[in-house]
């Protein structure tokens, strides 16, 4: 029977900017399905409340990967947490050694994932897109209960799952990898810990009109610790409320009752009425009273607002490798075909007419040119490019300059994706943002619109010279530039 095993990282946590390497040693004891292997990077969020006198609240926080770009937080995959990675065996040396895994995985994901793929993968990502319906902004860090009396909780450990096949193409192809033939396997990763952060979310200012201020008047004499919606909910995803949420309550007193302004209270129970005149409405009760209602008194114009914690921080404190060990003595495969990338990083020094020759390995059959953004280097952004042209060993690869976003540009991308055994599923070139509330807006934000250049190459017996010519508009030129050279490989036992 196949079984799942876990290996602890050689390094202990917490991982920091200076201690950002995570290594694993896979023993030479059997056959593994590397396409199912993944790294669990366990993170913990620390919450500091300004006051706990009125009760301890549960907060929704969203993990951020990389800084914002003009006020927008990009949606990125977990694999972008890996900067550089090496996979090597004891007896046969290095299998893959990739620099800037974060950048190449982002570019390929732009084109290889459809809009539905992006939405689907977001469920497992640390930087999750908001839900399609309603107003959900919930994340992996919290167990949220929207109904009942069981208090939601902040998870002590949140695992961020990084698939090895997203890092190494070898792991994508190695469905049977026999370590008894290769000897022990070493996996080394350098992490982008400096780009990992967290912020409080599910803010009431992002909710739709009426969600926070359409409440029935409170008229029952005694302690005021209950509110009921005037709006009717047809789906639970429409509600941003959950048990354990801390809210500030504001209300206007009538009949001599004092006005209430920003009184904090923690939700103790939520009921979704399923019958009668109030069918579809929410009844929310709190751990503590937020007002007093005397004889002939009431509260009107009730509204609520979320309470933000005074501070929130995140720490990556543990890592483990999860492997699927197959129930067989040796692999049936004698060789594994895969591909890898060699990387060259450069700076165009803001040239408006950039021209440079690069040495390309003879076996390279495709080149991918990325433009790391000055705001977030995990993204490939240079919105000032007008056109470009590539020459290989002094022969033009096209008979004209290629304008960005032209049919010829996308034709070269399609040819390159085919060369790399990938499918072209998306030409939006936008990974979306995590702050926008609706599906169409968060996948079309111009602030994170990306650009990349691709071209297939002819394999040659010796090294070849690739000349890259890029023209930009007068406002800005070419700055950071990263060349990824796609190189097919065959691993033989």
- Residues 330, 32: Cα–Cα separation, whole Å: 10
By DSSP bridging, strand 260-272 and strand 222-224 are unpaired
Exposure of 6 in the CB half-sphere (CA atoms within 13 A): 7
- Residues 315, 45: Cα–Cα separation, whole Å: 6
What pLDDT does residue 470 have?
98
Tokens 């056959």 locate to: 31
Cβ pair 139, 201 in contact under 8 A: yes
Span 125-164, pLDDT tens digits? 888 776 654 455 567 788 889 999 999 998 888 899 999 9
Beta bridge partners of residue 247, listed in sequence order: 265, 306
What pLDDT does residue 137 have?
58
Both tokens of 392, joined, read 């290989």
User: φ, ψ for residue 110 (rounded to 5)?
Assistant: -55, -45
Distant-in-sequence contacts of 417-420, Cβ < 8 A, 24+ apart: 417/111, 417/112, 417/454, 419/365, 419/366, 419/456, 419/486, 420/108, 420/339, 420/366, 420/486
Beta bridge partners of residue 269, listed in sequence order: 285
Q: Which residues contact 257 (CB under 8 A, 6 or more apart)?
A: 291, 292, 293, 294, 297, 298, 299
Both tokens of 333, joined, read 């495969």
For 195, which DSSP code? G
Which residue, among 44, 69, 12, has the nearest Cα to 381 in the 3D structure?
69
User: φ, ψ for residue 31 (rounded to 5)?
Assistant: -110, 135
- DSSP element (H, E) containing 342: strand 335-351
User: φ, ψ for residue 222 (rounded to 5)?
Assistant: 125, -155
Output the CA–CA distances (angstroms, integers) from residue 328 to 92, 176, 491, 492, in the order listed: 22, 10, 20, 19
Q: For the chain, which residues score pLDDT lower than 70?
A: 130-138, 435-443
What is the Cα Rg of the chain in Å?
Answer: 27
- Residues 430, 76: Cα–Cα separation, whole Å: 11
Which residue, among 451, 435, 413, has the nearest Cα to 74 in the 3D structure?
435
What pLDDT does residue 138 have?
63
Tokens 């994932």 locate to: 113
- Residue 52, helix vs strand vs coil: coil
Buried b (16+ CB within 10 A) or exposed e, 204-226: bebbeeebbeebeebeeeeebbb
Span 236-271, pLDDT tens digits? 888 889 999 999 999 999 998 899 999 999 999 999
- Residues 50, 53: Cα–Cα separation, whole Å: 10
């Amino acid at each position: 029977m196949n079984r799942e095993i876990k290996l602890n990282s050689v390094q202990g946590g917490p991982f920091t900017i200076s201690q950002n390497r995570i290594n694993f040693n896979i023993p030479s004891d059997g056959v593994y399905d590397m396409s199912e292997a993944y790294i669990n990077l366990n993170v913990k969020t620390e919450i500091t409340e300004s006051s706990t006198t009125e009760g301890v609240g549960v907060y929704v926080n969203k993990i951020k990967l990389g800084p914002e770009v003009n006020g927008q937080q990009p949606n990125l995959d977990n694999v972008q947490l890996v900067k550089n990675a090496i996979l090597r065996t004891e007896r046969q040396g290095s299998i893959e050694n990739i620099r800037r895994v974060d950048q190449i995985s982002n570019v390929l994901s732009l084109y290889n994932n459809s809009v539905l793929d992006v939405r689907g993968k977001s469920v497992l990502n640390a930087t999750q897109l908001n839900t399609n319906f309603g107003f959900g902004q919930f994340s992996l860090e919290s167990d949220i209960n929207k109904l009942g009396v069981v208090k939601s909780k902040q998870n002590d450990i949140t695992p961020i799952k990084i698939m090895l096949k997203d890092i190494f193409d070898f792991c994508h192809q190695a469905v049977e990898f026999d370590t008894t033939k290769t000897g022990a396997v070493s996996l080394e990763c350098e992490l982008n810990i400096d780009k990992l952060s967290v912020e409080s979310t599910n803010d009431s200012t992002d909710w739709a009109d009426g969600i926070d201020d359409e409440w029935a008047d409170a008229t029952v004499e005694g302690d005021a610790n209950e509110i009921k919606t005037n709006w009717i909910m047809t789906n639970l995803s429409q509600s941003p409320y959950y048990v354990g949420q801390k809210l500030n309550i504001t209300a206007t007193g009538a009949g001599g009752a004092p006005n209430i302004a920003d009184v904090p209270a923690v939700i103790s129970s939520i009921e979704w009425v399923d019958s009668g005149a109030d069918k579809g409405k929410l009844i929310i009760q709190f751990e503590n009273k937020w007002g007093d209602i005397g004889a002939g008194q009431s509260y009107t114009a009730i509204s609520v607002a979320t309470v933000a914690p005074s501070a929130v921080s995140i720490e990556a404190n543990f890592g483990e490798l999860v492997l699927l060990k197959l129930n067989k003595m040796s692999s049936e495969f004698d060789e594994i075909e895969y591909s890898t990338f060699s990387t060259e990083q450069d700076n165009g020094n803001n040239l408006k007419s950039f021209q440079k020759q690069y040495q390309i390995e003879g076996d390279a059959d495709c080149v991918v040119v990325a433009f790391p953004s000055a705001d977030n280097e995990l993204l490939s952004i240079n919105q000032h490019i007008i056109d470009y042209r590539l020459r290989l060993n002094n022969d033009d690869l096209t008979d004209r300059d290629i304008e960005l976003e032209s049919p010829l540009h996308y034709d070269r991308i399609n040819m390159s994706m085919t060369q790399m055994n990938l499918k072209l599923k998306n030409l939006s070139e936008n990974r979306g943002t995590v702050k926008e509330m609706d599906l169409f807006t968060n996948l079309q934000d111009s602030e994170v619109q990306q650009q990349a250049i691709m071209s297939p190459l002819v394999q040659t017996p010796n090294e070849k010279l690739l000349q890259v010519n890029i023209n930009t508009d007068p406002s800005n030129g070419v700055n950071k530039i990263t060349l990824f050279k796609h190189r097919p490989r065959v691993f033989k036992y």
